[in-house]
Each structure stands twice: as C-alpha cells, then as structure tokens.
C-alpha cells in the first residue's frame, strides 16, 4: 500500500523535530548545490535552526549575493513606484476624457435643439449665435467648393477647345447663376383702339 498524505504541521515531539530538521536541511542544501551547478545559476540559501544556528550555501559569495539582492530590491521598488504613478496618471486622463466626451455630447444635443428646458434666455441667445455662425461657415465652405468645381469645368472646356481647335467661347458661370432667381413672364392683352383700325385699313 502507498503511503498516506502527510499533513504539514509543526512536529510536537522535540527529538523527531530535530531529526526531521537535520535530514531536510541537508537535502535542501544538496538540492541548492545541484541546481546552481546544473543550471549555472547564482544561488543563495540561509537557514537558521530553532536554536539560532546558521546554515548557509551561496554561489558566488554570500556577501556579493546580498548586495545584488539589495540592489535589485531597490530597483524593483522604484519600478513599482513609477508604475503606480503611471497608473494614477492614466486614471486621471481617462476621467478627463470621459468628462470631455460628456460635454461634447451635451453640446451636440443642445445644437440639435434637445435638452434646452433649463436654458436661460441668455444661454439660448448664445447658442443661437453659435449655430448661426456654424451655418455661415458651412455655407461659405459650400460656396467655395462649388466655385472650385466651376473653375475646374471652365479650364477643362478651354483645354478641349485648344485641342480640337474650337472657336466657341467657353461658358462663363458666375455665383449669381447659382442663386434661385425666378423669371416671371406676363402676357398683356388689350382691346384694339381706333388708330390701330385705321392703320389696318390703310394697309389694304
């Protein structure tokens, strides 16, 4: 039968505890030595007995190992502190970005005419002015884009005339042509007068 699982707890019997300590201490020191040789690693092991006696193994010297450990611990501490500062900074940036997004979304809804119930008259006037200014800029940009397209078409027309030897004058299109002007044509009718009747007789 196999051995049962041993529960790890303090050995109450003093003699048994001392025997177990001696056996396992030697085994631990042996394993540390084997690991340092087989894997070519720096190894440091410190063990104090219940009576305070020191047992150690180190490869290389223990003092050099302790100095290296102290240096690495300090660098690790600085690295952890820097990492913590970076995390706090990123959290603040995320909070700021969320607030900016909220403000922009609210502003967009306001410009669409939503959520204006709590606005004062002054705020409504300011919002109206902003919307009108935005529309003016959009219209100006739209007009510029249209004029650029017209100018491009006129250049293409001139280039075609030069290639084919046309004599036609390229059409000139101006901004006024883009305005919606309605031309009204009226037909006026009046009864003929006496003078018109006499003129018709004399013609015969």
Under a CB-based contact definition with an 8 Å cutoff, are residues 84 and 92 in contact?
no
pLDDT above 60 for 10: yes
pLDDT at 157: 86
- What whole-number distance in Å separates Cα of residue 67 and Cα of residue 47? 18
Residue % of the chain over a pLDDT of 70: 76
Which of 28-32, 84-88, 123-127 has the lowest average pLDDT? 84-88
Give pLDDT tens digits for 144-163. 999 999 999 988 888 787 76
Q: Is the pTM of this model over 0.85?
A: no
CATH architecture of 13-59: 3-Layer(aba) Sandwich (3.40)
What Cα–Cα distance (Å) separates residue 37 from each residue in 13, 29, 166?
36, 13, 95
Tens of pLDDT along 108-147? Answer: 888 888 888 888 889 889 888 988 988 899 999 999 999 9
């Amino acid at each position: 039968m196999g051995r049962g699982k041993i529960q790890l707890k303090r050995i109450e019997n003093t003699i048994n505890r001392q025997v177990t300590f001696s056996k396992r201490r030697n085994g631990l020191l042996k394993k540390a030595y084997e690991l340092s040789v087989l894997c070519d690693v720096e190894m440091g092991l410190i063990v104090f007995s219940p009576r305070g006696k020191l047992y150690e193994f180190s490869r290389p010297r223990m003092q050099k190992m302790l100095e290296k450990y102290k240096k690495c611990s300090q660098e690790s501490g600085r690295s952890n502190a820097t990492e913590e500062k970076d995390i706090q900074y990123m959290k603040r940036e995320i909070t700021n970005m969320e607030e900016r997004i909220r403000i922009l979304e609210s502003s967009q809804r306001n410009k669409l005419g939503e959520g204006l119930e709590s606005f004062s008259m002054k705020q409504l006037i300011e919002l109206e002015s902003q919307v009108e200014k935005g529309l003016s800029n959009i219209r100006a940009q739209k007009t510029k884009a249209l004029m650029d397209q017209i100018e491009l078409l006129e250049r293409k027309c001139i280039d075609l005339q030069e290639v084919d030897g046309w004599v036609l004058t390229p059409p000139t299109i101006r901004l006024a042509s883009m305005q919606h002007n309605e031309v009204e044509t009226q037909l006026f009718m009046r009864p003929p007068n006496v003078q018109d009747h006499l003129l018709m007789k004399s013609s015969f």
